[in-house]
Amino acid sequence: MLKECAQHGYFRAEVCPVCGQPCRFLMNDRELDHLGRVLTGILRHFPDRYGLTMEPQGWVSLPAIVRAISQRHPAYHWLRVQHLVAIAETDAKGRYEVREDRVRATYGHTVEVELDLPTENIPEHLYFPVTPDEAAIVLEVGLKPSDRKRVHLSKTAEDARAAGQVRTPVPVILEVDTRKARDAGLVIMRAGKTVFLVDQVPAEYLSRLELVEGPATDPLP
């Protein structure tokens, strides 16, 4: 459920996590899930499907998105810019950026964009999941984009493991030495809260993360 507190802004819960008040209702969970998927699709994959124009840096007009969604999905005749801003600002992964009357996805694109994301405060190590069959090949030739325009690195090994389990039950986690890579001129951008983007990672900056076995409750296998 998506709501708005007059004092503390947008939130996804029954009551405001700060003041505990029920506050103003914006949309239910079903609407939130569907509109979130539509917004992500527009900003990452198919703005043209909705007749929208995307700027080179990935920005799309919020009023234009509202009009396009309302026309394609008449059930959302009540949709306003504030609803999309609320979705973006409460996204747990930080997948969106809002600036004035525009919004963009910060990562996950399959369309060509020229992202100008921050390149400072990059952790000394980042992580990437691969299948056991892929591990030896990637360690030899390096990381390159597959279905997306850039390689998506994770902030922690746990984040990488969670991402990798979409493809394989027990992913192999590769560690990226970002200090050496950046010293050599590799540009790494900070996208979402736990996601970093890079055009590619040469093999010399990759190593297999050897995980120490722990109790059954250990977050890593």
Per-block mean pLDDT, blocks of 10 residues, the chain (221 long): 96 96 96 97 97 97 98 97 98 94 96 93 96 94 90 96 92 96 96 94 94 42 38
Q: What CA–CA distance (Å, rounded) separates 92 from 183? A: 31
Buried (b) or exposed (e) across 22-57, using 16+ Cβ within 10 A? Answer: ebeebbeeebbeebbebbbebbbeebeebebebeee
Q: Is residue 215 in some structural domain? A: no
User: Can you give the pLDDT at residue 192?
Assistant: 87
Q: Which of 61, 186, 173, 190 is nearest to 127 (CA)?
A: 173
Neighbours of 152 (CB within 10 A): 20
In a domain, 34, yes or no: yes
Q: Residue 19 falls within a domain, yes or no?
A: yes
- Is 218 domain-assigned? no
User: Does any domain span residue 53?
Assistant: yes
The tokens for 157 are 């090994």
Ramachandran area for residue 18 (φ above 0: left; ψ -120 to 50: alpha; else beta): alpha
CA distance 107 to 197: 7
Same domain, 94 and 155: no
Predicted pLDDT at 211: 60
Domain with 137 in it: 125-208
Whole-number pLDDT of residue 216? 38
| DSSP strand pairing (151-154 vs 60-61) | unpaired
Residue 129 falls within a domain, yes or no? Answer: yes
What is the CATH number for 197? 3.20.170.30
Residue 68 forms part of a structural domain = yes
pLDDT at 148: 85
The verdict on pTM exceeding 0.75 is yes
100 shares its domain with 131: no
